[in-house]
Amino acid sequence: MKWRSLEESTSGNDTRLLREILAERKEKIAEYVPAATLECHARVIAGLKAQGLADKSLAVGERAPEFSLPDHNGNMVSLAQLLRRGRLVLCFFRGRWDPFCCGQMEAMNRIVAEIEEAGASLVAISPQTVKQSFFMANQHRLRFPLLSDAGNQVARQFGLVYRLPEEQQVIYRRAFINLPFVNGDKSWELPIPATYVVDRDGTVLFASADEDYTARAEPADVLRSLS
């Protein structure tokens, strides 16, 4: 299945809510993916929710941990450097292989100018390699940095990391989603999707994390948190 970018499918004029766009993708996936596979993914999500992973992740009022990561061009970017310029919108995503991540990144790309007008900047973090991030930024014409978090070390500090159970690893391998290759390690670990707004002093002003990889923070809610 080839997932077209929003620009390819709508000439960049899609004004729907992100949840509507992602719901459409979820419906299309259900048409092609076997029920047993969908049930496996649902079990994993339910298990993560039972653990309360999102509830244990970094929350509003807490301090974001310092980090320094390479962007998709190989340049090192630190939290301190970003906060010197103003507030920061920080998205954790799974990778370029995930159509829900692609949809979210494209939706965030459409509000970059508004984020900057609010005196903030936007970066997104995933465990994929710098090369994979470069491919994604180029393919989707992203106008913000994609940072590569090798081994999910930063995501771990935010409390977002989990290891895919064996049954889900089998499904991913069958679908040619080779996480050890994409991420450059054999851990089979991913972050749950999360979006933060960080104030200049490092305090978290907005936090949205969800164990369900098909659910993401609405760009409009992120913008409201910057007003």
Domain boundaries, the chain: 16-225
* Cα 208 to Cα 122: distance, rounded to the nearest angstrom: 15
Select the CATH number that applies to the domain covering 16-225 from these four: 4.10.80.40, 1.10.3720.10, 3.40.30.10, 3.40.50.620.
3.40.30.10
**What pTM did the predictor assign?**
0.93
For residue range 128-167, what is the model confidence (pLDDT) as tens digits?
Answer: 999 999 999 999 999 999 999 999 999 999 999 999 999 9
pLDDT > 70? residue 6: no
Averaged pLDDT for residues 191-219: 98
**pLDDT score recorded for residue 176:** 94
